[in-house]
Structure 1
Amino acid sequence: MSPHNRSMITVSALIAGGNFEQLTPHLQKAKKNGVTKDEIVEMITHLSFYAGWPKAWSAFNIAKQIYND
């Protein structure tokens, strides 16, 4: 599995599980592995319907910090 896809799966699992303390370093690694800002936005939006808006909103705030740097 490519590092890009592995990062997408890891970040998705962390968001769905509500493990936000681990999300920042994994989002940083995902960015290094080529996961784009648009992909993260799509992922979080899609997960919001399954994991809930509170988890998605928390993830968006963390992702904004990582992808606006």
Structure 2
Amino acid sequence: MTNTTPAQQLIGNFSPKMVELTDGVVFGDIWERPELSKRDRSLVTVAVLIAGGHTEQLPGHIQRALDNGVSREEIVETITHLAFYAGWPRAMSAIAVAKDVLGEHA
């Protein structure tokens, strides 16, 4: 059994260059730079995804944030804070995603 990256699982052989760039540049270089902790990078990434309305990318990055030491409360507070800067609809969409990732179904 071979270890596959999330990008390989998501894209497979459909776009090998995107897998290469995702694994090598984004997660192999950018996420490994020492100037920001992975925890801080996770908070920034979650915030930008919410602000941009990119909820399809949120589940994986919320889980990554949890794995990088961001608490459930910090994720919820980040979304609440962004409601006033990124827009209420985007925050409400992000809350729905966060509830699912955190296992808090209605």
What TM-score range do you get, normalising by the shorter chain? Answer: over 0.9
CA deviation vs aligned residue, 1:9-61 (integer Å, no higher than 9, x gap): 00000000001111111111111111101101110000000111100000001
Greater relative CO (CA pairs within 8 A, separation 6+): 1
Q: Equivalences for 1:1-69 in 2 at 5 Å?
A: 1-68=36-103
TM-score, normalised to structure 2's length? Answer: 0.62
- Tell which structure's C-alpha radius of gyration is larger: 2
- Opposite residue 45 of structure 2, the aligned amino acid is T
SS at match of 2:55: coil
- Opposite residue 13 of structure 1, the aligned amino acid is V
The Cα RMSD (Å) is 1.1
Unaligned runs of 5+ in 1: none
TM-score, normalised to structure 1's length? Answer: 0.94
Unaligned runs of 5+ in 2: 1-35
Corresponding pairs, count: 69
**Which is helix-richer, 1 or 2?**
1
Shift of 1:65: 1.2
